[in-house]
Amino acid sequence: MLQQLTQEQQSVITHQQGHARVRAVAGSGKTTTLVERVLHLLRQGVPAKRMLVVMYNRAAREDFMAKLQRRAQQIKTTEGLQLNLPDVRTFHSLGHRLTQTFGRWGVLKTRQLQQEEWMVDRLTRQALTQLAEEQGQESQAWLEEDALDAFKSFCTLVKSGLSDAQFVFEALDTTANQKHFPQAFEQLEQLLSEQRLMFFDDLLWRPLKVLDKQPELLKRLQGFLDYLIVDEYQDINEVQQALIKALAGKAQVMVVGDIDQCIYEWRGARPEYMLRRFQQDFKQVQDYPLTHTFRFGHSLALAANQAINHNRERPEQITLAAKSAQPTFLQQGQGSGWLLEQLAAWQAKQAEGKAAILVRSWSQSLDVQLELLKSHQPFQLARQEHFIFNRPQIRGLLAYARLALNSQVGITINYQHPDAQQDFYQLLSFPTLYLTEQERQSLVQGRIQSDSALMAAMDRMPQGKRNRVKNRLELVNKLAKHAKQLKPAAFINFTLRETNALEKIRKTAPSKESAEEALRLIEGLKRYAEKSNTNDLGEWINQLEIARQEGAASQAANTTAQQQLVILTVHAAKGLEWDWVGVYGLNEGDFPYTSGFSRLTPAGEEAERRLFYVAITRAKHWLVLARSETSNQPSRFLEEAALYDAKKLAELLEESSEQPPKTPPLIKAHQPELLLRYWQSVSSLEPPKFIAYEFQA
């Protein structure tokens, strides 16, 4: 059954002339609105083949198509009207079709698409290796997992626009370890050209580069559409904007999105596309707001408005809770333990319901994961590598502890056991000894066979590497002498100091972000060790091993998120919703995220605030905001959201709907003008008297 449409939705559905920009807040029913818009045009006699709907990704397309087909079937059943449905495609699907068209026209050479991740990695590694050989460089540092990911992200950013790689690189805040990126990009492009291959990003980038150089081809592309609808327009980048312009011609274009949810800057998205560029590129644009959310109640709508209102790069629009929206309860506190207590209390009252804990970056999830493992509560992660015991820094430090404990006098390590082999491999990997993968494997095999085989493997290495390996092996013996005397946290500090790990991470990390993540993970493990209920290193390691096994089993079980708590980053949570949402790590430096002692730029702060807005608007019935137990100050976003003000006004709105007060109450608020505007937008009653808090010097 179709829900009652709001007047705002009806205005979008029946839009007549010119282009349209629809600003849809979180949970405003934009998919339902777009489905009805398409059906309205079809009822008006617009041929389905003269209409195109563009969705951001495959999941969004499938969801839209399912709802469109369901509504079309309802119309057929109730009215006997058979409607042909238009083409609904993703950007990359359109790029693929355009690539094939240009191939037939002879303006773009055909290539085979490679989508498998292993194949992408293999070709990328090959290009990096070739460049290193040409420059007389050691390639291993470029091929490490984090370094490879950083380079692939750079390639994605280059292919989100039409500028050359060097120009994109110069605009970034990069490290010395990334200076090879522009040349490596060109090397990879040459390799792909030689082998007639392409990657997923090329589906858009290659044909749009052709159009950029041969604009006369536009005449052959345009004229086939009367209506073009684009969803999630706030996530648009330069190459996608160019595609929309190329296909539109004289078609009427309607774009739908929410500037406040523009969080994919690393893919080239920027608020300016929806804020200014659409108007500049298409002229005569009519704006339509979708301001009512059906996802959450007044309290969360007010908190979200108060937070995002501090951004300047946005329209003057507020989110209003629809009359049918259920109340949302807000809580604020500190610590992973406190957060999980709130979750347990909610779960005890709920027969069913979905829950999620969101973090700004994966290093922040360490506290939560370890707390969940300690309490034997299962949880799910988006990817296995985000399980805390799969992180290389954590695996490395725990390997040192096990090797030290098992290298004490009277104990012999059985290197035939896979776990011992893995620990030895970690010893050679963290922090880096600048060994190739082949060299590490050779040393592991030597260690398995005998001491003499290990020495032989070392002798085959260059002098510098041989000395570094020798020092690392001697360190294990040194650690073994202290293993029984050192508390867990002291052992970690001792190991970090002896290996100079922190400095090596800073120097060798492929990016500032990856270095920060690694250092924060280590700090998190140290904090956890300091809070340990045991001073015995061996007992602490055993506790962690039990937790690791239990957590690994939980991940392998892959229980549905409906039955189990899910932990996600905010970026991965966009577009999703849960009954109960906890946002963890709300401290300055963590969320908003800052690197080292650097300060946020105004644009950077606004980007972080949009991310916070997305995080809190995933909740339906409960939102729990928690600081971590670091010494960092509370996040500025907590003060900006002003939960107390939001809850107070929400209570008054609910009370006044049942029994209007005789005299309007007096309310102190951080943003009185905003709260007054909200009240007047949702209630016909006389508003409270709002006054601002006095500034405290």
Q: Indicate the pLDDT class of residue 410, thresholds 50, 70 and 90.
A: low
**pLDDT for 604 beyond 70:** yes
- % of the chain exceeding 70 in pLDDT: 97
Q: Which tens digits make up the pLDDT trace of 552-597?
A: 887 776 554 445 799 999 999 998 999 999 999 999 999 999 876 5
Q: Under DSSP, is residue 567 helix (H, G, I), strand (E, B) or coil? A: strand
Q: 């950013």: which residue's tokens?
A: 157
Q: Which tens digits make up the pLDDT trace of 88-98?
A: 999 999 999 99
Q: How many residues does the chain have?
A: 697
Q: Indicate the pLDDT class of residue 408, thresholds 50, 70 and 90.
A: confident
User: What is the rounded distance in angstroms from the CA atom of residue 367 to the CA atom of residue 530?
Assistant: 13
pLDDT reported for residue 558: 59
Name residue 53's beta-bridge partners: 88, 229
pLDDT reported for residue 596: 66
| Stretch 239-248: mean pLDDT | 94
CB 584 within 8 A of CB 336: yes
| Stretch 669-687: mean pLDDT | 92
CB 228 within 8 A of CB 249: no
Which CA distances in Å does 136 have to 125, 129, 130, 462, 464?
Answer: 16, 10, 10, 16, 17
pLDDT reported for residue 602: 92
**pLDDT for 697 beyond 70:** no
pLDDT reported for residue 617: 97
Q: Which tens digits make up the pLDDT trace of 450-482?
A: 989 999 999 999 999 999 999 999 998 899 888
User: What is the rounded distance in angstroms from the CA atom of residue 139 to the CA atom of residue 142?
Assistant: 5
CB 285 within 8 A of CB 17: no
pLDDT reported for residue 582: 98
Residue type, 187: Q
CB 273 within 8 A of CB 233: yes
User: What is the rounded distance in angstroms from the CA atom of residue 131 to the CA atom of residue 420?
Assistant: 36
**Mean per-residue pLDDT over the chain, rounded:** 90
Beta strands across the sheet bearing 227-230:
87-90, 51-55, 227-230, 252-257, 19-24, 285-290
CA angle 14/20/25 to nearest 5° reads 90
pLDDT reported for residue 172: 86
Question: 112-113 and 666-669: which strand pairing?
Answer: unpaired
Which is more confident, 384 or 401?
Answer: 401
SS3 letters for 10-33? HHHHCCCCCEEEEEECCCCCHHHH
The least confident of 47-56, 170-179, 465-474, 687-696 is 687-696
User: What is the rounded distance in angstroms from the CA atom of residue 580 to the CA atom of residue 595?
Assistant: 30
User: What is the rounded distance in angstroms from the CA atom of residue 662 to the CA atom of residue 665?
Assistant: 9
Q: Indicate the pLDDT class of residue 629, thresholds 50, 70 and 90.
A: confident
Q: Is 696 exposed, middle or buried (0-12, 13-18, 19+ CB in 10 A)?
A: exposed
Q: Indicate the pLDDT class of residue 435, thresholds 50, 70 and 90.
A: confident
CB 373 within 8 A of CB 538: no
User: What is the rounded distance in angstroms from the CA atom of residue 363 to the CA atom of residue 450?
Assistant: 38
Helices (H), 106-180: 117-135, 140-143, 145-158, 165-170
In sequence order, which residues have a C-beta less than 8 Å from that of residue 418 and are 6 or more positions away? none
In sequence order, which residues have a C-beta less than 8 Å from that of residue 470 and are 6 or more positions away? 458
Its pTM surpasses 0.95: no
pLDDT reported for residue 627: 95
